[in-house]
Amino acid sequence: MFTKFIKSVLIFNQAQSKAPNFILIYFLISIAWHNQVFMTFITNQGSLTERFSTALSQNTHQYIVVLMLTLLFFSMRLLYLYFVNKTEQLIEQDEPIEAKLGSDQLFTENKDVVRLMELLKETKEKLAKSKAREAQAQTDKTTTINKMLALQDELDLALADIAILNKANKELTTKLNDSYVT
């Protein structure tokens, strides 16, 4: 059983995309873990060899801790990819939903869908009625505006006629008053 597990992990590992270089990851973790070595090297005074020896003597280099962190990084990466692969395989092997449902459930009508379709039909009818009312209101509005404009024109003509008649009336009254005076 253990050999099957090792074989599946080996096949999985070979099928995955290439992992980052182990030495590169070790070096990056080492730099992050031992950043004090570099800080001491930069901040100390003296020649290059004195600074280098001071930096190494003040900070102990923990090779085993860095190696363990690097191995932990790679094992976590492999575990993650392994579980993702197994999950994808389980999803692919899963039977379709139609096979899981009973034959009696497969072709029954869903009441929610029927209600939803009825609601959709009612909404469409209401929309059509609303559009018809909107079109009727637009034509009524246009008709009312046209009537108002026609009445305004008639009123303007009547006011112009009244102004002309008032002017003619004043002229006649002045002529009449002139004829009485003379």
Over residues 33-74, the pLDDT tens digits come to 667 766 777 777 888 788 777 766 766 667 777 788 888 888
**C-alpha–C-alpha distance, residues 172 and 178, integer Å:** 10
In a domain? residue 129: no
**Structure-derived torsion over alpha carbons of residues 152, 156, 157, 158, reported in degrees to the nearest 10:** 100
Q: Which phi and psi angles does 98 have, rounded to 5°? A: -60, -35
**Residue range(s) defining the domain that contains residue 70:** 2-106
pLDDT tens figures, 121-173: 999 999 999 999 999 999 999 999 999 999 999 999 999 999 999 999 999 99
pLDDT over threshold 70, residue 6: no
Determine, yes or no, domain membership for 143.
Answer: no
DSSP-H helix ranges across 34-110: 35-43, 48-58, 63-93, 97-100, 103-106
Number of domains in the chain: 1
Position 67 in a domain = yes
Is residue 118, in this structure, part of any structural domain at all? no
Assigned domain for 141 exists: no
Answer whether residue 133 is part of any domain. no
Residues 149-160 as b or e (16 or more Cβ within 10 Å = b):
eeeeeeeeeeee
Residue 25 lies in a domain: yes
- 90 in a domain, yes or no? yes
Integer Cα distance of 40 and 63 in angstroms: 19
